[in-house]
């Protein structure tokens, strides 16, 4: 009896094997394409309470970083991935001079303009890229004329510098060859960045605490305030020129309680189109501080945004790659990376062909982001 049961059960299992074999689950190779791996590296920097701007000296592997709280300029070499190889640190002025803005000079190739916010000065430096240990040298020093106070941004446009005077809420235009030729434009609290419109040639500054952008027409000295509707948000910070034909672009940190994930595109006729991120709750609530166009933006319609916890400890620090359609009128895709160190108050973003760098204001770190 027992034997018979065993035989039957063996027969049954044989049958079931047979059953599986003749009706096998189909297994078919399918394409295994995938996106490149994403690497987010955090490079520790010498300690400072506040790390601000970052720029790359053209045609070199040298980047410069401003640390405002101790007025230190960092000079670092980076590899192809943007990872720091070697670093030197130089105090500019006193430790209270408040080194802040950094900008490349076109007229003096390889040299950079910096602002010393508390010394009230604009300074042209030769960063001495030959060696990390060579101190930068001063080529030109320009005092900000009274009653102007507290230069934050500086940018070179032909023979002129334009600077936001954060502490007196003014904008300065000054001829760096003839510094007696200048104009101070009274703004609302507080002008932060300036861009020249690629299409109408006028200058615009975002006023972070006034939800407004000031237009300046230097030929007539006329200024106009363009207010930002509360439905889009408040606190415009990053503001840069887009590709020719596509206006100025700016980021908003949020409204009274939330990041709004919104950026603005200011056209030649001063109308503004707002674009709101929507691919994820992370991006639709993003507090957007700054932005940079991809080096290939003219052909790949890509812009990089930096979201920051600087406004609210509930906000995330993120690098968001946003791609538009060919007319820059509609967002096509969003790609989000959150930085490893939370609450770092991510501050500026610098995009090179092979990597993206971002400063972390509050953690003395530089993020290098690349894909392989």
Ligand X SMILES: *[C@@H]1O[C@H](CO)[C@@H](O)[C@H](O)[C@H]1NC(C)=O
Cβ atoms within 10 Å of 354's Cβ, excluding its own: 14
Tell me which stretch binds ligand X (CB under 6 A): 35-43, 56-64, 239-247, 292-300. Answer: 292-300
- Which one of the spans 4-12, 114-122, 195-203, 279-287 is the region binding ligand X (CB under 6 A)? 279-287
Tell me which residue of 160, 161, 244, 150 sits closest to 197, measured CA to CA.
Answer: 244
Please tell me whether residue 296 binds ligand X under the rule CB under 6 A: yes
* Shortest distance in whole angstroms from residue 285 CB to ligand X: 4
The correct pick among 13, 137, 221, 273 for binding ligand X (CB under 6 A) is 221
209 forms part of the interface with ligand X (CB under 6 A): no
Q: Is 196 in the site for ligand X (CB under 6 A)?
A: no
- The DSSP code for 316 is P
Strand order of the sheet with strand 99-104? 99-104, 112-116, 121-126, 137-143
- Does position 178 interact with ligand X (CB under 6 A)? The reply is no
Q: Are 204 and 223 in contact (CB under 8 A)?
A: no
Measured from each CB, the residue nearest to ligand X is 281
State how far the alpha carbon of 348 is from the alpha carbons of 214, 283, 284, 356, in Å.
22, 18, 20, 10
DSSP state of 145: P
- Cross-strand pairs, 185: 171
- In the complex with ligand X, the residue whose CB is nearer, 302 or 359, is 302
User: Would you count residue 309 as binding ligand X (CB under 6 A)?
Assistant: no
Of residues 69 through 88, those in contact with ligand X by CB under 6 A are 69-70
Nearer Cβ to ligand X, position 126 or 175?
A: 175
Does position 302 interact with ligand X (CB under 6 A)? The reply is yes
Q: What are the φ/ψ torsions at residue 281 (nearest 5 degrees)? A: -55, -30
Q: Does 285 bind ligand X (CB under 6 A)?
A: yes
Nearer to ligand X, 192 or 337 (CB): 337
Query: In the complex, what is the shortest distance from the CB of residue 96 to ligand X, in angstroms, rounded to a whole number?
Result: 7
* Residue 220 binds ligand X, judged by CB under 6 A: yes
DSSP secondary structure string, 342-355? TT--EEEEEE-SS-
Residue 37 binds ligand X, judged by CB under 6 A: no
366: buried, middle or exposed (CB in 10 Å: 19+, 13-18, 0-12)? buried
Q: Rule CB under 6 A: say whether 183 interacts with ligand X.
A: yes
d(CA 102, CA 28) in angstroms, rounded, equals 56
Q: Is 180 an interacting residue with respect to ligand X (CB under 6 A)?
A: no
CA-based nearest residue to 40, from 362, 361, 359, 356:
356
The partner residues of 143 in beta bridges, in order of sequence, read 121
On the 0-12 / 13-18 / 19+ scale of CB atoms within 10 A, 69 is middle
Chosen residue from 56, 121, 140, 258 binding ligand X by CB under 6 A:
258
- The correct pick among 117, 210, 235, 260 for binding ligand X (CB under 6 A) is 260
Q: Does 312 bind ligand X (CB under 6 A)?
A: yes
Q: How many residues bind ligand X (CB under 6 A)?
A: 24
Going through 117-190 in order, the beta strands assigned E by DSSP cover 121-126, 137-143, 151-157, 160-165, 170-175, 182-186
Residue 109 or 158: the one with the smaller Cβ distance to ligand X is 158
Report whether 10 contacts 18 (CB < 8 A): no
Shortest distance (Å) from residue 77 CB to ligand X: 21
Cβ closest to ligand X, residue 15 vs residue 219 = 219
What is the DSSP code (8-state) at residue 83?
-
Q: Which residues bind ligand X (CB under 6 A)?
A: 69-70, 95, 183, 220-221, 230, 255-258, 260, 281, 284-285, 294-296, 300, 302, 312, 314, 323, 353
């Amino acid at each position: 009896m027992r034997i018979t049961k065993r035989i039957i059960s063996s027969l049954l299992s044989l049958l079931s094997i047979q059953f599986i074999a003749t009706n096998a689950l189909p297994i078919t190779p399918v394409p295994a394409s995938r996106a490149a791996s994403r690497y987010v590296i955090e490079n520790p920097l010498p300690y400072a309470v506040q790390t601000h701007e970052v720029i790359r000296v053209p045609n070199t592997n040298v980047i410069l970083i401003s640390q405002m709280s101790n007025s230190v300029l960092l000079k670092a070499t980076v590899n192809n991935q943007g990872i720091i190889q070697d670093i030197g640190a130089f105090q500019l002025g006193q430790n209270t001079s408040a080194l802040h803005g950094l900008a490349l000079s076109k007229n003096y190739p390889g040299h950079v303009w910096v602002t010393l916010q508390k010394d009230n000065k604009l300074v042209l430096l030769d960063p001495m890229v030959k060696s990390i240990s060579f101190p930068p040298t001063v080529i030109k020093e320009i005092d900000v004329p009274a009653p102007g106070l507290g230069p934050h941004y500086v940018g070179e446009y032909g023979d002129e510098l334009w600077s936001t005077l954060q502490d007196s809420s003014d904008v300065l235009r000054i001829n760096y060859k003839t510094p007696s030729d200048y104009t101070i434009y009274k703004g609302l609290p507080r002008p932060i960045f300036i861009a020249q419109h690629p299409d109408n040639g006028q200058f615009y500054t975002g006023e972070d605490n006034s939800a407004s952008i000031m237009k300046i027409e230097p030929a007539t000295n006329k200024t106009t305030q363009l207010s930002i509707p509360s439905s889009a948000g408040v606190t415009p910070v990053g503001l840069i020129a887009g590709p020719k034909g596509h206006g100025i672009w700016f980021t908003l940190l949020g409204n009274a309680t939330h990041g709004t994930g919104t950026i603005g595109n200011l056209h030649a006729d001063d109308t503004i189109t707002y674009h709101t991120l929507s691919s994820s709750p992370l991006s639709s609530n993003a507090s957007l501080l700054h932005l940079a166009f991809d080096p290939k933006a003219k052909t790949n319609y890509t812009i990089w945004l930096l979201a920051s916890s600087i406004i609210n400890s509930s906000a995330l620090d993120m690098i968001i790659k946003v791609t538009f359609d060919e007319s820059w009128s509609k967002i096509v895709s969003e790609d989000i990376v959150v930085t490893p160190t939370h609450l770092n108050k991510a501050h500026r973003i610098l995009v090179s062909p092979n990597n993206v760098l971002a400063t972390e204001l509050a953690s003395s770190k530089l993020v290098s982001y690349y894909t392989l």
